[in-house]
Amino acid sequence: MGEIRVGTSSWADRTLLRAGWYPRSAKTPADRLAHYSRHFGLVEVDTSYYAVPVPETTAGWVAATPPGFTFDVKAFSLFTGHPTPVTMLPRDLRPATGPTRVRRRDLPEESYEELWRRFRAALQPLAAADRLGVVLLQFPPWLVCGAAARRRIVELARRCRPWRVAVELRHGSWFDGEAAAETVTFLADHDLSMVCVDMPQGHPSSVPPIMVATAEPGLVRFHGHSPHWADGGKEDRFRYAYSDGELRRWADLLTDLAGVTGELHVLFNNCCEGQAQRDAGRLADLLGVTPATERAEV
């Protein structure tokens, strides 16, 4: 059976810092990441979606974590087609005039290429220390299945190579009827990990939890089942606590999926007041998953 790694989609969101999950002795970002790594062997970097980090920051993440710890890094929002606040761009790459939110078409080609160069430079310390898991390309819910969209996915994945790439699709057209098999085949043919998601159903952005590994590693993200998915703010949309029964059922499904893949990444994105950490910890116990620190000591 493949190795299962369990973690959460952030380790420093504001509600987590208020929740008391970290001890008072964890006063700095490095302290908190070190504490996190004593509980989990995997984390998703969410901040890289909002702004491209600098290599000094990612090198600090390496220093704060033990060998065997893994970072899955979410790609910068502008790369995957999300309108991005100009203030989130590096100061020297911000357009002098124009809209307050920009897309690729709003930037000069040299600025766009420089953003990619800096993003890749930020990943280098993680990759050099064998801490980089996947680059996660999370596409917006308006990316409809089609030839142009597939070309876009392939082009962005090429920019991330030689690192592993995972793709999260958030429009139902990718998995509607016969399209589901075509999507799975497309991702497998291009060696891209399809992100399986557990999320509320019945919304335009809903996709079914198809438990298939199209590449290494397999990836499953848990968004929860908040009744406020369509109309709530960010905290309300992800405010959800998994029941013991749900986690036991998922433990069985994940064990089966790990049987056909070399490595499986499991991430809880119900990040609201420490709930992701609590649920991830309970699932890790059910699966018998140990954090990186314990693996390093074996």
Domains of the chain: 3-297 (3.20.20.410)
Using a pLDDT cut of 90, give the percent of the chain over it: 81
Q: What's the rounded mean pLDDT across residues 228-255?
A: 86
Report the C-alpha gap between 63 and 83 in whole angstroms: 33
**The amino acid at 133:** G
Report the C-alpha gap between 125 and 65 in whole angstroms: 13
Report the C-alpha gap between 77 and 50 in whole angstroms: 6
Angle at 115 between CA 113 and CA 118, to 5 degrees: 110
Q: Is residue 291 pLDDT above 90, yes or no?
A: no
Q: What's the rounded mean pLDDT across residues 126-130?
A: 98
Q: What's the rounded mean pLDDT across residues 226-230?
A: 75
pLDDT of residue 295: 52
How would residue 127 be classed by pLDDT, with cut points 50, 70 and 90? very high
Contact criterion met (CB below 8 Å) for 210 and 242: no
Using a pLDDT cut of 70, give the percent of the chain over it: 97
Q: Is residue 297 pLDDT above 60, yes or no?
A: no
Q: Can you say whether the dihedral through the CA atoms of 8, 12, 16, 19 is positive or negative?
A: positive
User: pLDDT per residue over 76-114, tens digit each?
Assistant: 999 999 999 999 999 999 998 889 999 999 999 999 999
pLDDT of residue 72: 98
Q: What's the rounded mean pLDDT across residues 127-136?
A: 98
The CB density around residue 204, as the number of other CB atoms within 10 Å, is 11
**Three-class DSSP category at 280:** helix
The CB density around residue 232, as the number of other CB atoms within 10 Å, is 13
DSSP assigned state of 148: H
Find the range with the poorest average confidence among 75-79, 235-239, 283-287.
235-239
Contact criterion met (CB below 8 Å) for 103 and 83: yes
pLDDT of residue 56: 98
DSSP states along 87-114: GGS-GGGS-SSS-SEE-GGGS-HHHHHH
Beta strands of 139-190 (E only): which ranges? Answer: 164-168
Report the C-alpha gap between 141 and 112 in whole angstroms: 22
pLDDT of residue 298: 40
The CB density around residue 223, as the number of other CB atoms within 10 Å, is 19
Q: What's the rounded mean pLDDT across residues 194-211?
A: 89
Q: Are strands 193-198 and 101-102 parallel, antiparallel or unpaired?
A: unpaired
User: pLDDT per residue over 21-72, tens digit each?
Assistant: 999 999 999 999 999 999 999 999 999 999 999 999 999 999 999 999 999 9
How would residue 118 be classed by pLDDT, with cut points 50, 70 and 90? very high
CA distances to 37, 66, 73 from 135, rounded to whole Å, are 20, 20, 5
Contact criterion met (CB below 8 Å) for 159 and 172: no
Report the C-alpha gap between 89 and 82 in whole angstroms: 13
Q: Which residue has the higher pLDDT, 59 or 231?
A: 59
Q: What is the mean pLDDT of the chain?
A: 93
